[in-house]
Amino acid sequence: MSKVDENRRRVLAGLGSAAAGLALYSVTRGTAYAYTSQQPGNEVSDNILTSIEDWFKRIFGFSQRATTTTTTAAPMVTLPSVRSAGFGWEVVNLHNNGADMVIGVTEDMIIHWFDMDVSYMLTSPPSSEGFVEVLYTVGVTSTTPQFSSPPQVYQSLPPAEGFTGVTIVNPNNLQTVADAYPGQGFLTRLILKSWVPKDGTASQVQRHVTLYPNMLVKSGSYIVFHMDHAGVVSVDSEIQVTLGYSIVKSS
């Protein structure tokens, strides 16, 4: 048996002492070191040390040579504070007509989330059974808000960029109603419908929506809330809104 083979056997079998030249690894302050101990006439070959190094790499991920890890703290980033606001609007005698509420924006802001609850209820039973529906819309405009003629007074917004007008495919000659084009700036549009029996039971309707538009709204813009009604009986209709936003300051 050659001296190299004998040393390999001693190292891999864990025999001998410091004369075997076994590589020892320790970790101090995040740095890995390799040590060897040799006695004259009992040198350990490079191949043996390489085998030991590979074993330690596989088990511990250590390197044979000393390495130093430097950690650099990430720069602190100051984010705009998120604020919240809330408001409500109620119309107690909505009946085949509509109304709007306008809120002006006085600072550039990003609207992160938008939470809205809408509902309506009858205030008296109908004279005859039939349907009731209430449309709720929320839109943002950078110019003075425009509205359609009474009684519904819908918010009028320009056509949205990137879309054509609306085309209805109706080979069955169904009765349809649709907007002429997608409106630019709508945040949400909700329609609530119910069938109202003569005694008015089971006719209350409610819906809750949460949106995350992350939408930039410039100072001087307006947020417009709309509701309008159609149906056999007057209703009490209400909107409750909360939103989260950040004021955007120019640098």
How is residue 159 annotated by DSSP?
B
Statement to judge: residues 179 and 219 lie in one domain:
yes
Whether 111 is covered by a domain: the verdict is: yes
Whether 227 is covered by a domain: the verdict is: yes
Statement to judge: residues 46 and 90 lie in one domain:
no
Could you tell me the CA-to-CA distances from 214 to 109, 179, 211, 241 in Å, in that order?
Answer: 10, 26, 9, 16
Q: Which pTM does this prediction carry? A: 0.68
pLDDT of amino acid 79: 60
CATH number at residue 220: 2.60.120
Statement to judge: residues 41 and 126 lie in one domain:
no
Q: What tens digit of pLDDT does each residue of 211-246 get?
A: 999 999 999 999 999 999 999 999 999 999 999 999
Statement to judge: residues 52 and 118 lie in one domain:
no
pLDDT of amino acid 73: 61
Whether 202 is covered by a domain: the verdict is: yes
What is residue 243's three-state secondary structure? Answer: strand
Q: Which domain holds residue 28?
A: 3-60
Share of the chain above pLDDT 90, in %: 66
**Which alpha helices (DSSP H) does the chain contain, by range?**
3-13, 46-60
CA 223: distance to chain centroid?
Answer: 22
Q: What tens digit of pLDDT does each residue of 179-218 get?
A: 999 999 999 999 999 999 999 998 999 999 999 999 999 9
Statement to judge: residues 121 and 179 lie in one domain:
yes
Number of domains in the chain: 2
The answer, yes or no, to whether the previous bond of 151 is cis (omega within 30 of 0) is yes
Whether 231 is covered by a domain: the verdict is: yes
